[in-house]
Amino acid sequence: MTFLLVALAALAVAPLPQDPEPRAWTIQAERVYTSTGRNLEKGLVVVSAGKISAVTPGAGDEDERPRDRLKVYAVTAGLVDAGVRVTNWSSVEQSKEVTPQLRVSDALDPFALDWERQLRSGVTTVLASPIDRNVIGGLSVVLKTAGPESIAARTLKADAVLRGSMGSDPSAGNHAASGRPTDFYSRRPTTRMGVEWEWRNAFFTTALGQNEQDPGRATLVAALQGKIPVFVQAWTTQDIRTAVFLREEVQARPEFASAGMNTPRFVIDAAAEAWKEPQLLARSQTPVILPPFPAGGRTRDNALMAWNVAKILKDSGVPFALSSHGSSDVADRLAMQAGYAMAGGITFEDALAAVTSTPAKLLGVDSRVGSLEVGKDADLVLWSGEPFQPGTRVVATIVDGVLRYEGWDAVQGAAIAR
């Protein structure tokens, strides 16, 4: 009894942080899109203790606890964006070109409005990566877009991906010294081949044990052994080819085999011109993440992104995910990307997979998120109509069982029963 009183007194002086507790919810929807291939017309998704506890057909007892019942047109799993860039120069350490060991999570701001923007567009899980200024920029982190006000508490998977880039981004701004160098930008790489050389140098020195003192070595070893996937930004055909050939070289050369470092896993990020090399990607079993569809047809690095790129990848058997890149442009929202990809010829199911289950698999978090299945995290998007259509709104977003976003019609009470 005394102990209980002491415990109560301790509670009284140290109130818990005012973070909403996960609540029990019953989402009643005309359409339940599960991302498992099994969809329901008129179904229920039941949530308790932050997890999905049931996905069933029917309408249940509609009078039961109306406060916990949300009625919407459609419900899907929370969207997953594996291509979010941290639009912050302080996310990448530019004093060196190769910084595999540095963590982008150390640069993230839990209070930034970007997370809420993602939430409003239905994205509940992201891979946040450093800005592509380094050849190998560091370790990306998978995190939820809502939750307690700390990055550590929102992290779903730390050190999830080793992040780097081919192409022109890592060499932009570097220059050959003319006279006395005044800063560290008088260095390589200044060209695409210089960028590729830095990758090759990092991999070979690791396999040959020539970088024992390098703080990034352990990360590079893990990447070459396939323990951490390597996400390589490559917009254009030649950069996609360069990345695939580099991996195939690592798989084939005896130096890597004898060191036990010949099984890297590559994912090509921002592969706008993947439609030109579907056979290469299929043969090498390299998944890709597509960048946002560009307004003028051309992306960064002057890559040409065809409208039917997703369709070509689908037909060729190349796994692909879609991404908004974390852009603040409303036309770049992830749900819009899925709609554009459907306009390019893929089915709703394929588009849904490309923004839920496929990116979850690429990130190795598919046991937790990416589909509506019993036992998975209660990350749900409630839609006013058919998802990915331009006129459809995100009515509400639930993360880990907590209602984190309500759209304007929810405030008016038109869609959500309170």
Partner 1 sequence: MLPILLAFAAATIPGQSPLAIRAKTVWTGGGRVLENGVVVVDDGRIQSVGTDVAIPEDAEVLEHDGVLTAGMIALHGAAGAVGETRDGTRPALPEARVGLALDGRSRDFEELREAGITSILVTPDPSGITGGTTALVKTLDGQVVRDPAHLSLVFSSEGLSGNREPTSRPGALALLNALFAEPRGVVADARAGRIGCLFEVREREDIGRAIAFAREKKLRGALHGAGLSGELSEPIRDSGLAVILPVLGVGAPQRVLDAVARLAKDGVAFGFGLDAPWVHADSLRLSAALCVRAGLDRQAAWRGLTADAAKIAGVDDRLGRIERGLDADLVLWSGDPLDLSSSARTVLVGGKSVPMGGPAGTAKESHR
Please choose, from the candidates 61, 72, 59, 158, the residue with its C-alpha nearest in 3D space to the C-alpha of residue 108: 158
Amino acid residing at 315: D
Of 54, 152, 411, 417, the one binding partner 1 (CB under 8 A) is 152
Please choose, from the candidates 269, 250, 270, the residue with its C-alpha nearest in 3D space to the C-alpha of residue 260: 250
**C-beta of 190: minimal distance to partner 1 in Å?**
17
Which one of the spans 24-32, 86-94, 187-195, 334-342 is the region binding partner 1 (CB under 8 A)? 86-94
Alpha-carbon span 146 to 169, nearest angstrom: 30
Neighbours of 296 (CB within 10 A): 6
- Main-chain phi, psi angles of 393, to 5 degrees: -105, 155
Of 8, 10, 17, 65, the one binding partner 1 (CB under 8 A) is 17
Which one of the spans 97-105, 189-197, 244-252, 318-326 is the region binding partner 1 (CB under 8 A)? 97-105
Residue 213 within binding range of partner 1, rule CB under 8 A? no
Residue 150 within binding range of partner 1, rule CB under 8 A? yes
Residue 178 within binding range of partner 1, rule CB under 8 A? no
What strands, in cross-sheet order, belong to the sheet with 69-77? 51-57, 40-48, 25-33, 69-77, 380-383, 394-399, 402-406
Asked if residue 108 lies in contact with residue 149, where contact means CB atoms within 8 angstroms, the answer is no
Three-class secondary structure of residue 260 per DSSP:
coil
**C-beta of 131: minimal distance to partner 1 in Å?**
9
Most distant CA pair in the chain: distance in Å? 80
The Cα-based distances of 117 to 111, 144, 339 in angstroms read 12, 13, 19
Residue with smaller CB distance to partner 1, 79 or 151: 151
Which one of the spans 51-59, 102-110, 121-129, 321-329 is the region binding partner 1 (CB under 8 A)? 102-110
Residue 408 within binding range of partner 1, rule CB under 8 A? no
Residue with smaller CB distance to partner 1, 186 or 205: 186
Give Cα 332 distance to the centre of its chain. Answer: 15
**Count of positions on this chain that bind partner 1 (CB under 8 A):** 31
**C-beta of 291: minimal distance to partner 1 in Å?**
23
Residue 92 within binding range of partner 1, rule CB under 8 A? yes
Alpha-carbon span 196 to 401, nearest angstrom: 44
Residue with smaller CB distance to partner 1, 41 or 183: 183
Strand ranges (E), 175-239: 230-233
Please choose, from the candidates 380, 294, 298, the residue with its C-alpha nearest in 3D space to the C-alpha of residue 340: 294
Residue with smaller CB distance to partner 1, 100 or 407: 100
Of 45, 72, 75, 104, the one binding partner 1 (CB under 8 A) is 104
Of 82, 102, 381, 398, the one binding partner 1 (CB under 8 A) is 102
Which one of the spans 57-65, 77-85, 100-108, 273-281 is the region binding partner 1 (CB under 8 A)? 100-108
Alpha-carbon span 259 to 203, nearest angstrom: 11
Chain residues 107-136 in contact with partner 1, contact rule CB under 8 A = 107-112, 130
Total residue count of the chain as it appears in this document: 418
Residue 99 within binding range of partner 1, rule CB under 8 A? yes
Asked if residue 176 lies in contact with residue 190, where contact means CB atoms within 8 angstroms, the answer is yes
Structure tokens at 343: 């306009």
Residue with smaller CB distance to partner 1, 17 or 375: 17
**C-beta of 133: minimal distance to partner 1 in Å?**
9
Residue 215 within binding range of partner 1, rule CB under 8 A? yes
Structure tokens at 259: 């060191």
**C-beta of 104: minimal distance to partner 1 in Å?**
7
Residue 32 within binding range of partner 1, rule CB under 8 A? no
Strand ranges (E), 49-187: 51-57, 69-77, 79-85, 123-129, 136-144, 155-165
Residue 182 within binding range of partner 1, rule CB under 8 A? yes
Structure tokens at 197: 């050389």
**C-beta of 172: minimal distance to partner 1 in Å?**
14
Of 7, 184, 200, 408, the one binding partner 1 (CB under 8 A) is 184
Residue 90 within binding range of partner 1, rule CB under 8 A? yes
Q: Footprint of partner 1 on this chain (CB under 8 A)? A: 17, 89-95, 99, 101-104, 106-112, 130, 138, 149-152, 182-185, 215
